[in-house]
Each structure stands twice: as C-alpha cells, then as structure tokens.
Structure 1
Amino acid sequence: MRFDKKQIILLLACLVLGLFTINTNVQAKTTTVVVGTQGSDAQIWRHIAQSTAAKKAHLTIKVKEINDGIQLNRATAEGSVDANAFQSYGYLMSYNHDNPQGKLVPIGTTYLEPLGLYSKKYRHLRQLPKHAKIAIADDPANQTRSLQLLQHLGLIKLQAKHSTAAAIADVQENPHRLRFYPVNSSTVPRVLDDVAAGLITNTVAQESGLNVWHDTLAHEKLNRSTQKNINIIAVRPQSSHKPAMKKLVQLYRQPSIQRYIQKSFHHTKILVKEPIANLKESNHG
C-alpha cells in the first residue's frame, strides 16, 4: 500500500499529537498529599485544598486536623501525615531534641504570628507596676519565646547560656520583681482578669477576639531575634526533596492565597520567605 505525500504528513502529525497527549497526561498526574494541621492553619489549608492554584499544581490536598502538637509531629514521622503546618521552627527543634528517633525537617517558611503582651488593666507598658503578676505559657517553646520578648522589652534578663531555650528559673535579673504565673498557653486569655498581663500567642489571641496590633502592650517584630518563631512546613527527612512537598511551599506563597489569609486574619500573619538555612544559622548563632 503506497501513501502519497499528503497522507504521510497527516500520519506524522497524528503521531506527534498522540505522543504529545500521552506526555501531557503523564505530566499532569495528580499527587495526593495529606497535610496535618490545627487551629487557624486548618482553615488556611482547607482553602488551599479547594483553590484553583492547587488544581494547577496537580495536587489533591487532604487536610487532617490533630489538635496536639506532639501527636501531629509523630503522625508525620510515622507517615500517616505527609507534611504538617502548625508549628514554629523553635517548636520543631525542641520536638526533635526530645524525639531523636522521629525527627522531622523543615522544608519552607510560612509566616510569623507575633506573640504579644496583653492586659485588661493597663494600656501602656510603662504603666505595668512592680511585682506585677504575669501569666505565661507553661510549655517549653512558648515559655522561652515569652521570656525572650520580656527580655527584649528590658523587663528581665536571662542567663546568656539560655539564649535559645529558657525557663522561668533562668531569669537572672528581674528589676521589676515580676511574678510569673505559668498556665497552659490556650488558657492565658481566660486568666487576664486575674493578672496584670499575659503573654499570648497570636492564634490563641485571635480565637479570643484579641488583635496583636491593637490590643497589646507590646509584641514581637520580625527580625533576627524572632527568626526561630517563624512557622514552617515540616516533613520526614526522606520526603523533603519530593516535588509535591516543594509545591506545598509554593502554594502557600501564591498571591491569591495570601490575599485570602490577610483578609481572614486581619493581617496578623506576616508572610515570611526566609530560607530555612537562615533559621538554622540564627538558632546556632
């Protein structure tokens, strides 16, 4: 059977089109990723999961809420969760220290949620009296963060060796004779009537109707001293180089996603594109 020139050209065109279609279908294969999260982050990731940006990235995101940080990290280490997004870099380092057999690695930054010093009795930091009773989180990561904010404000001084992890016992100088009242971080807003002031994470403050920009005596700012407080996306070491994991970081930073976050959370989540390597340097500096 002989083909003329036009038939040959047509057959070649069909062959090329078929190969292109097959290649496109392979490239467009959708990957399912289970993202473990909690609190306001769950709302964010449910929005991301339904977004056009996720579809364009060929990701099917399933959001799994686990409202306990340690259990969420363990679920990630064990593989029932592919990646988690809820914790600060400092929290993750503390977890890894306590769980050497199930360490996770950060693959990208998301935001800084400024921790603030809130009061129902005083409007300005200078009004805070001596011997003031201060509610503070009782967990290591948030207590360290709270004490470091107080040190930055000049209210206390910590022992130098406890610059990366500190507890109330590590307060070296306390000229204002502040009295610390340790409670679960989520309950600090509920005890504000009984104390002079309380140190509250932004997520907890938001859930209690408080705004870090308007309702604090003072709050954290994004600088080198707060880099370890930046939130991150964490995965198992063997998953850190998977394309789908890198896409999660890129998705979070999409302009359309950021507009939703800023509108929903009153601009209290500060987008951070800091390289993970910089956070590591800060932690060891």
Structure 2
Amino acid sequence: MAFQFKKTLHQLLASALVVTGLVPGISAMAAETLTIAATPVPHAEILEFIKPQLAKEGIDLKIKVFTDYVQPAVQVNEKHLDGNFFLHQPYLNEFKKSHSNDIEVPVTKVHVEPFAAYSTRYKKVADIPEGATVAIPNDPSNSGRALLLLARQGLLKLKDVNNISATKKDIIDNPKKLKFKELEAATLPRVLNQVDLALINTNYAIEAKLNPVKDSLFIEDAHSPYANLLVAREDNKNSPAFKKLIAALNSPEVKKFIEEKYKGAVVPAF
C-alpha cells in the first residue's frame, strides 16, 4: 500500500508540474493580452498582419474595430482599451482640447494616408464650376487639412497656408464661391455622387473601393504631416508588450506589406 501511495503521489505531482508549466519545455507564462482599437482599413488589416508574429512573442493581440474617429480615442482615455491605431497628431491635439484627454500618448508613426479629393462629375480642377458644393470632414483637424489641400490647388486662399487648424473663417478668397458641406468623415464616400467634390480620408476611400492614386482628382504628397500613429496610455506606454507591438509595426515586413497591398494609397512613415 505504501508503495502504491507513493506512486500515486508521484503521478499527481508530475501532473501538477505539467499543468503549471514547470516541466522543461512547457511555458509557465500565459500570453499577455493587448487590446488595440483600429478603424477597418488599413489599420485593422495591418494589425491582423502582425498578429501571428506577436503571438509567437507571447502577445495576444486583440483588435477592436471601430468605424468612427471618436470612440477609439474615448475608450482609450477611459482605460477600457490599451491603445489605438487610427489617428494622426493634429487629430489627437484637437481631441485633447475638446475631451480633456491627458493620458493618450503617441508611441510611434506607422504610415501616411495621403488625403485626396474625389469627383464623379469632373476630371480636372479647372472644370470645377462656380458655386460647386464641396464636402469635407467635420472634425477640426481634418477639415483644416481639407482646406489646406484646396488652397494648394488654387481653389481658395487662406490667411496662413501652413495653419493645419484652418477653418472656413480663415478663407480670404473664394474665387469659385465654393459651398461647403461639413459631414462626418465616414459618410463622405456615400455622398460623393451628391456633391461636386468630396475630400475623403484614405481609410474611408479604400473601404469604398476608391483608389486614392488612380481615382482622385488631386492628392497630398507623401510628406504630409498627418502620419498615422500608434497611441498608448500614459501608464502603459513603456510596457514590454507595447515595445513588441512597436517593433512589429515598424518592421521591414510591415513596410513591404503596406507597399505591396496599398500600392501608394498608404505610405510607410518609418
């Protein structure tokens, strides 16, 4: 009986070692979860691309997809999520002003989505008529971006051509008497057929099957100050998990993925 008891006890101990991961070759560490908010294209697609590699490094990357620009920032600020990947610095600056946000911290640049103007009615800037209706995003950072792009095309003049926070009040000359509709960025592709010109963020353009390089009337160059950022919370920005995520997003593999998949519609910023 004593021998049998010792044998049974040995088996139980061995099983416990296997379960707790203390037997050589069995990991004692559970994967660390990192939950990141992203808009569908290209942000969530890029995160999905690096997810398998991060899993090998012990990071369970959970991607929470949003179709708007407000909730991904709000939920990180309220600590419901670890970080987000969808915004640029001008947007974050404006968001902080209006939402008393003081914990979101940019940790790395990933890519630029050159902002572009689209029209189903006109093929050249010169063809845009007097009194044309132009749809632009209604959030302050992207509406300013739209006005700057219009100014660079000679469609209007601004007090300061370098003011990324420009508003309609900063227009000093509007020779074609353009009429502006300010709409939520995500809705702009849906109204393209209803206006003369629409300035659309590239992520929403791609979702709508528009190719910013081929289909746009005019487009920003790759030196845009609107690089899309990976954002963390102040309390987790230096965590080992975030360092692994940063390294993955700034890897040669991601650079190649962006260049091959988006063919100029999205440009690496690292």
Question: TM-score by structure 2 length?
Answer: 0.82
User: 2:86 corresponds to which residue?
Assistant: 86
How far apart are residue 102 of structure 1 and its match? 4.0
- Give the drift of 1:79: 2.2
- The CA RMSD over aligned residues, in Å, is 2.5
Are residues 1:134 and 2:131 paired?
A: no
Instruction: Work out the CA distance in 1 between the residues paired with 2:219 and 2:209.
Output: 16
Matched residue, 1:43: 45
Q: Mapping of 1:198-237 within 5 angstroms?
A: 198-223=198-223, 226-227=224-225, 229-237=226-234
Q: Write the distance in 1 (CA, Å) between the matches of 2:35 and 2:201.
A: 26
Written as runs of structure 1 = structure 2, the 5 A alignment for 1:222-261 is 222-223=222-223, 226-227=224-225, 229-261=226-258
Higher helix proportion (structure 1 or 2): 1
Distance 1:168 1:162, change over 3 A: farther
Please name the residue that 1:34 is paired with.
35
Cα separation, partners in 2 of 1:252 and 1:211, compared to 1, 3 Å: same
What is the letter of the counterpart of residue 146 of structure 1?
A: A
Q: Are the counterparts in 2 of residues 106 and 234 from structure 1 also a CA contact under 8 Å? A: yes
Specify the alignment match of 1:124 in structure 2: 124
CA distance in 1 between partners of 2:118 and 2:161 (Å): 28
Deviations 1:201-241 (A, max 9, x none): 11111111111111111101122xx21x1100111112222
Q: Deviations over 1:92-140 (max 9, x none)?
A: 1111111225441100001111111111111122222232221112222
Give identity over the alignment, percent: 27
- Check whether the contact 2:68–2:186 (CA below 8 A) recurs between aligned residues: no
Q: Which runs of 5+ in 2 are unaligned?
A: 1-22
Q: Which runs of 5+ in 1 are unaligned?
A: 1-20, 274-285
Confirm or deny: 8 A CA contact 2:212 2:219 kept in the other structure. Answer: yes
Match of 2:71?
71
Deviations 1:168-193 (A, max 9, x none): 23212212222212222222222222
Q: Are the aligned partners of 1:74 and 1:102 in contact in 2 as well (CA < 8 Å)?
A: no
Alignment map for 1:54-69 (pairs within 5 Å): 54-69=54-69
Mapping of residues 85-234 of structure 1, within 5 Å: 85-160=85-160, 163-223=163-223, 226-227=224-225, 229-234=226-231
- Which letter does structure 2 place at the counterpart of 1:160? D
Aligned positions, number: 246
Q: Determine helix, strand or coil for the equivalent of 1:105.
A: strand
